[in-house]
Amino acid sequence: MPTAAPVKLKSIGTVTHFYDRIGVAVIKLKAALKVGDIIHFSRKGEELFCQPVESIQIDHETLKAAKKGQEIGLKVTTPVQDGADVLK
């Protein structure tokens, strides 16, 4: 039985700040992102964790999607360091 080929992930952004008290990462996007996407966080090539996107905020306004070039706030399930890559 053939095995599925590994999914190729591409970088869609970088964590620019993490607010540990509220568990929110600020991400500068290099590609579009929408609620429901599954994203992966990695640092120096090592995958840290993955999670679904449950909400996106820009200036405290909740959105269903964000575009390339925007800086968003995203609730994360695990603390993440500045500079971590966001992949999809």
Structure-token match 């080929």, residue found = 5
Structural domain range at position 50:
11-87
Summarize the chain as % helix, strand, coil (round to 5).
0, 50, 50
pTM of the entire structure? 0.90
pLDDT in tens, 47-72: 999 999 999 999 999 999 999 999 99
pLDDT, residue 3, reads 66
Q: Could you tell me if residue 1 is inside a domain? A: no
CATH number at residue 62: 2.40.30.10
Cα separation, 30 vs 42, whole angstroms = 15
How many domains does the chain contain in total?
1
Region 67-81 average pLDDT: 97
CB neighbours of 25 closer than 8 A, spacing ≥ 6?
15, 17, 18, 19, 73, 74, 76, 80, 84
